[in-house]
A and B are shown apart, each in its own frame.
Chain A
Amino acid sequence: MSKAVEIQQEVTIKFAGDSGDGMQLTGSLFTDNTALSGSDLATFPDFPAEIRAPQGTLAGVSGFQLHFGSREILTPGDECDVLVAMNAAALKANLQHLAPGSTIILNVDGFDKKNLRLAKYEEGENPLESSLLDGFEVIRMPVTKLTREALAQSELSTRDKDLCKNMFVLGFLYWRYNRKLDSTLDFLKQKFGRRPALLEANITALRAGYHYGDTIEAFTSRYEVKAAPLEKGAYRNIMGNEALVIGLIAAAQKAGLPLFYGSYPITPASDILHGLAAYKHFGVRTFQAEDEIAAICAAIGASYGGNLAVTGTSGPGMALKTEAMGLALMLELPLVICNVQRGGPSTGLPTKTEQSDLLQALYGRNGESPVPAIAASSPADCFWAAFEACRIALQHMTPVILLSDGYIANGAEPWKFPRAAELPSIEVRFRKARDNDEPFLPYERDERFVRPWALPGTKGLAHRIGGLEKEAGTGNVSYDPANHEFMVKARQAKVDKIADYIPEQELSIGPEKGEALFLGWGSTFGLVKSVVKDLLAEGYAVAHAHLRYLRPFPRNLGSLLQQYDKIIIPEINNGQLCQLIRSDFLRDVIPYNKIQGTPITKAELKGFARQVLGDSRPPVPQ
């Protein structure tokens, strides 16, 4: 019997369960499937720092939020319309994020006495029997029981059968949202190809979940979210770290250089190392070093040898790399340093997001040590930011810091990917071999104040470089006072000069003059743009600009800021870009800061904006 299908504009759904319940996988499979259906989307995975936090506890809840729709989707959504809760703790941890009237899909088998106790419900209290869920549409499914029944014929152990619970739920959601199973079937075949019993069990559970929707009378509605009116072209779904990996490889290919990546595992940057290690057939050389210092030093060695050298880490690892960054700057060798930021300081909040390493990127080294910094603004933008970081490093012979964060690193969105031929090539010139006795000047500068890249092994160019101050031109060690001042200024000028080779700052939305400019950087792009879009619709004269280039700033930034009465800077830190804008432009700004390890919600920023802007809207004509 086929049931009525109701069309929805957008849905926010959250998968929540124990960290062993496979919610991240379920969420990403549903996301891939959603992407293929053509909807626009944004995701927000939220998982505990421990791999297997105590089962059934609130600390062990792992969540994956997906916002998809048939219109432009810029954020993973403030509140959920649908919550999938695999146990009592998952319900308890997420109940406050539910919109009134939303749907809760419950695995009732996850609400036994033990689960309730672990979720810290009062003795004798059971949310399934209390009024707590009044006002929600509650779909109760004995998922564990149903999965075991579906797999009655399988020879797997009960423990292994229970691991297929997530497929049952996924199957049910595919039914609910009128989807095809193909993308997940393909995935399962890839993953379990060599283990037929597991493959069959997962497929059976997936199908059983789907048919459960079809056969049980209790559910009356099915929904469909149509494709979004995205720009024409070919799309794929992509996560931030994945995009960063592809961006690095693309840059290496476009520069005609082998890619070297030195790294030491750290959340949330490890996936870059994993990703690149799988692309050896692109000639990628990955090196898991003994620590972050060795990782960056090895990258410096590779850069000296003529590779496109990259190192990647997160905050604590950045702290370790600082001395070597100074060396790279002194050597004036190309190097990309990726920082996938997480909550700090110290070990901080390893699996939570934050934008608090901006000042570290700009100032966290000894001496006068300017290093260009750029930031990625969304999962797909990690590709472009990585590509651009490599371009700047290679063409300006400098270390470049690339800032991403945990939110976009693990978040996903549809990406209109480019063709290889459409990508600009990155011209790299090595100093050529020679026979004559002319002195080779390793620190001679060209019109961009850039020194030549002379590779060991090149005939006639033997030279020595190092971290001691260099004499202009020769690069010989020099303690000459005037030379030092000159070199400090030369290194600064070289970085400042990059402003001539980057685009001017543009607005992402809004008028060129107005009441307020929302100035953001990094992962807040989607949020700020969607808030400004709403405010514009409400009649406010506001605009949004999002900075990719944090050092040097685009040349027109100062004049752009002057076009607005107020500059509002939302950041997931304690006001770091605010400090930069104030000191660089002597311009006061209005900070909006949230430092809770989670993205800023639309409601939060909009509420703040209304407060700051007051009733600055022109009166609505009656």
Chain B
Amino acid sequence: MARTVLGFEAHETYGANKAKTLRTNKGMSATEGTTIMSAKDFATSQEVRWCPGCGDYSILKQVQAAFAELQLSRDEVVFISGIGCSSRFPYYMETYGMHSIHGRAPAVASGLKIARPELQVWVVTGDGDGLSIGGNHLIHLLRRNFGIKVLLFNNQIYGLTKGQYSPTSEEAKATKSTPMGSIDHPLNPLAFALGVDGSFVARTMDRDPRHLKEMILRCHAHEGTAFLEIYQNCNIFNDGAFQAFTEKESKADAAIFLEHGQPLRFGSNSEKGIRLDCFRPVVVNLEKDGFSAGDLWIHDEKDICKAHLLARFFDDPARREHHYLPRPFGVLYAAERPSYEKMLHEQIAAAIELKGEGQLDELLAGAATWEIR
């Protein structure tokens, strides 16, 4: 044992030298509270190591912009991530953060939120991290409804491990691990989130910064678990996966943007809409089919049944048939449900109310004691 301790001491100069070459904490000039936070104040000195052109940059930028808009304090925010390109996120946010292990960020975040309900806890995960290895934890985070925001960067690929298919990859996808095409049926993240009773379920994309920021702000405002799927382009291993929804030529017809209380309309001139024929959503052309806006499905974020239908708008744009339904973006569902940590602390308070604050001496003695004299 002494051997290693000595070995350590011999090396110690190494640590000391290193300590001198540290980044300086890019502090804000004045005391917090009086300072105006800008998006840049949320950036760290760490060199961002995503591939040039990666969709992750846009997400980072919009999160920083949204936080500046909210004037959040850097000290009250914690980012917890798993493993993947996306999960490097916390290193680039000048807040508290933990880059944990593959798939487990929701569990780490849950414990933190129980310990410190007052903190703003955000989880960043990927389609592999959150839906493959960590799918179980995501289920339980959502159904418990912790006050945690989850940003799921969906690039339909394993980026960090260099391009294997993921649970959200489309059928028949050829990757290094599926040379003859994937035979896995793809997972639908929003149907999944609604299926486990997530209380806030939304979708956005890296290429629409305005919408992306708006969704981040909506997540922040939600009390329970906010689940935001973000279509994110991996230009190295899965370039253009969401092209149909993100690119100008096709976006208007392939994507539909939801707004609470508004009819479901899309198309380059908003000429198309969705009508509910009993339980069947049908696309109608307002200019040609003789319907008016009043005939269309009015989006209601609080309607869980309709949210399930919307989540099922999952047709593959590449295999567009005449029943093709556009992919919805925006908040599919948002409901109020008490958060897990709130109920947990209420139970503790109720127990104290009922039994009085626990006394260690009583606990040590237990119910029955005797004396040896």
Contact = CB atoms under 8 A, between A and B. Distances in A.
Given A297-B100, A300-B111, A456-B119, A483 B18 contact: yes
A592 B17 CA distance: 51
A262 B9 CA distance: 37
Contact of A490 (B15, B76, B112): B15
Interface string A441-452: 100110001000
Interface stretch (A168-176, A283-291, A517-525): A283-291
A230 B372 CA distance: 7
A281 B358 contact: yes
Contact of B19 (A227, A287, A295, A474): A474
A294 B368 contact: no
B360 A420 contact: yes
Contacts of A486: 11, 14-15
A232 B9 CA distance: 48
A458 B106 CA distance: 22
Interface in B109-133: 109-116, 118-119
Contact of A283 (B5, B94, B348): B348
Nearest to B31: A435
A177 interface: no
Contact of A305 (B95, B106, B119): B119
Contact of B371 (A234, A309, A323, A436): A234
Contacts of B7: 489, 493
B352 interface: yes
Contact of A281 (B27, B100, B139, B355): B355
Nearest to A468: B99
Given A234-B369, A235-B371, A464 B98 contact: yes
Contacts of B136: 290-291, 294
Interface stretch (A32-40, A121-129, A150-158, A336-344): A32-40
B372 A235 contact: yes
A68 B208 CA distance: 76
A462 B93 CA distance: 10
Contact of A464 (B11, B90, B137): B90
B101 interface: yes
B68 interface: no
Contacts, number: 278
Nearest to A37: B370
A394 B347 CA distance: 27
A476 interface: yes
B161 interface: no
A419 B363 contact: no
A236 interface: yes
Interface string B16-45: 001100111101000110000000000010
A318 interface: no
A183 interface: yes
Contacts of A285: 114-115, 344, 348
Contacts of B323: none
Contacts of A444: 19
A489 B8 contact: yes
Contacts of A290: 107, 136-137, 139-140
A482 interface: yes
B209 interface: no
Given A260-B111, A297-B107, A460-B27, A235 B370 contact: yes
B96 interface: yes
Contacts of B278: none
Interface stretch (A97-105, A246-254, A348-356): A246-254
Most buried by B among A418, A462, A485: A462
Contacts of A477: 46, 91
Contacts of A463: 96-97
Interface residues of B, number: 78
Given A35-B370, A490-B8, A306 B1 contact: no
B75 interface: yes
A327 interface: yes
B115 A301 contact: yes
B108 A183 contact: no
A327 B75 contact: no
A550 interface: no
A305 B112 contact: yes
Contacts of B83: 467
Given A258-B115, A302-B114, A456-B119, A294 B351 contact: no
B101 to A, nearest CB: 5
B27 to A, nearest CB: 4
Interface in A461-482: 461-468, 471-474, 476-477, 482
A555 to B, nearest CB: 8
B39 to A, nearest CB: 16
B12 to A, nearest CB: 9
Contact of B111 (A250, A298, A471, A483): A298
A37 to B, nearest CB: 8
Contacts of A323: 101
A540 B60 CA distance: 73
B42 to A, nearest CB: 10
Contacts of A497: 5
A439 B368 contact: no
Contacts of A279: 358, 363
Contact of A457 (B75, B348, B351, B368): B75
A526 interface: no
Contacts of A107: none
Given A233-B371, A281-B358, A294-B104, A466 B98 contact: yes
A233 B106 CA distance: 48
Given A459-B75, A462-B74, A492-B8, A260 B114 contact: yes
B354 A439 contact: no
B4 interface: yes
Nearest to A421: B361
A217 interface: no
A378 interface: no
Interface in B196-228: none
A42 to B, nearest CB: 17
Contact of B112 (A295, A302, A499): A302
Most buried by B among A294, A309, A461: A294
30 contacts: A38-B370, A258-B115, A279-B363, A281-B356, A283-B357, A289-B110, A294-B140, A298-B107, A301-B80, A301-B108, A301-B110, A301-B111, A304-B112, A417-B365, A420-B360, A461-B75, A462-B75, A466-B90, A467-B99, A467-B101, A472-B14, A472-B18, A476-B46, A477-B91, A483-B18, A486-B15, A489-B4, A489-B11, A490-B15, A555-B1
Interface of B: 1, 4-5, 7-9, 11, 14-15, 18-19, 22-25, 27, 31-32, 44, 46, 74-76, 78, 80, 83, 90-91, 93-101, 104, 106-116, 118-119, 136-137, 139-140, 344, 347-348, 351-352, 354-361, 363-366, 368-373
Given A258-B115, A476-B46, A489-B4, 20 more contacts: A238-B366, A279-B358, A281-B354, A298-B114, A301-B80, A304-B115, A305-B111, A323-B101, A439-B25, A445-B15, A458-B75, A460-B27, A464-B44, A464-B96, A467-B99, A474-B19, A485-B11, A489-B7, A499-B1, A552-B1
* Leading 5 A-B pairs by shortest Cβ distance: A466-B99, A301-B111, A298-B111, A305-B115, A282-B358
